[in-house]
Every structure is written in structure tokens, then in C-alpha cells.
Amino acid sequence: MKAVRPKFPTVLVRAAALVGLLLLVALVVVVVRGLPESIGPAPGREQPNAADKSDQAAFAPGMAPQRANTAEKADRSDAGKAPRPLLGAFSPVLPPFEVVSADTFKSNDHQFKLAGVEGPPRNAVCVDADGGLWACGLYARAALNNALKDRRVACASARPEPGEEPGAVCTINGGNLAGILVGLGWLRPVDGEQAFVQVMEEARSQKRGMWNGDWHIRS
């Protein structure tokens, strides 16, 4: 004789399946409630806003390898007054920019030499505080390039001293470009120029930029 399997009513089968589904949902709810309420940032900790970065965030030469003692930024929109009397009003200077040297750049075939300051020659090689050689001309050009990048640039002609080439006073987002670069150690006032002396001394004491070798240019 064949064994007879007991038959369960369809209603009971469906009820058992529903109960099993409810138990599974309840288990998922318990597990979820046991997780942290948020996987985002900790309460009260603000996230960095890329649009709210300091205007000086790129002034150290990020396009060249990082040099020791140059990481400190000098966010100084008041880094000194204009080194020379101006011959005209400030006018916007538009990109693209071509960096010629640490203190000179071009825009639309017009060249701007920052007045009252000087930097290392374009391809200069320097000796650092430990006696090592480094491409200071490249680093200084990278600093100027990064300062100009994505910022509002305006320049005005400065009155030259007798026998001196015409120069320009330029600003980036309202801050004096030459003064900022002096504060970072990539430029310094020319002999007899009193502008930016204070920020230069600060850069020297912190051994920023070219001061990480006391401006020892080998070639």
C-alpha cells in the first residue's frame, strides 16, 4: 500500500508563509536599528568646502616637488603697499598667463614685470641650507604660476626709477602679488626698495622659499 501524505489546507500554508515573511522583516528592522544613525561626518564637524579655500592655498609651488620649509602659506592681502607710485588705474588682466620668470609674466603678448622686486633667474640652480642643489628658478616660476591660477588679476603701471625698466603693480583677488610672493620667499625687494621689507624678514626667519639657502644662487 502506498503511504498517504497528510494534506494541509491551503489557508494554513499561506498563513505560515506570511508569518515567516513577517519574522524576516522584523529581523531586518532590528539589525538596521543596531547600526550607527549616520555614516556621514561626525556631528559638529564641518566638511571642507572647495569653494571656500584660502586664496593663498596654491601659492607654494605645487607644480614642482615640495621643498622643505616652504609649506607654510602666507595669506597676506596686506603684504605691503605698492612699491612705486602708479601711473594709471588698475585694469583687469585676463588669462591665459605665460610665466617668464619668478617676477615676470605675460598675458595676450603684454608683459608684466613686478616693480620693486626681484627673483632668481628662470633656470637658476641654488644651494640649500644642507649644501644640496635644487632648481630654484623652476620652483619660483611655479609659485608665480600657482598664484595667478584661477584668481582675479589686475595690474597698473608703476613709475620707474631713473635708468630702470618700467614695471607693474599687480594684485590677485585684491592682494598685492609681489608682496605675497616676497612673504613666501620667492621674491625679495631690490636694493634700496623699502616696500615689503617686513614680510621679507619674516620669510627669512622662517626659511621660506629661496631663504632655505639664504638666496645662494649657483648658476
pLDDT at 39: 30
Query: What is the per-residue pLDDT across 95-130, written as a single tens digit (0 to 9) for each?
Result: 999 999 999 999 998 999 999 999 999 999 999 999
Rg of the chain on CA atoms, in Å: 32
Long-range CB contacts for residues 91-94, cutoff 8 Å, separation at least 24:
91/154, 91/155, 91/156, 92/152, 92/153, 92/154, 93/153, 93/154, 93/155, 93/170, 94/153
pLDDT tens by residue, 176-190: 999 999 999 999 998
In a domain, 38, yes or no: no
- What is residue 192's predicted lDDT score, i.e. its pLDDT? 74
Helix (H, G, I), strand (E, B) or coil at 180: helix
Residue matched to cell numbers 617668464: 100
Task: List pLDDT tens digits, range 49-66.
Answer: 322 333 343 344 433 333
Query: CATH number for the domain including 187?
Result: 2.40.50.90
Type of residue numbered 18: L
Domain that holds residue 182: 58-211
In-domain check, residue 20: no
Cα–Cα distances (Å) from 155 to 33, 86, 171, in that order, read 61, 10, 6
Task: Give the pLDDT score at 42.
Answer: 37
Q: What's the number of domains the chain is made of?
A: 1
Residue 90 placed within a domain = yes
Is residue 121 domain-resident?
Answer: yes
The residue-averaged pLDDT of 24-29 equals: 57
| 7, part of any domain | no
In a domain? residue 147: yes
pTM of model > 0.75: no
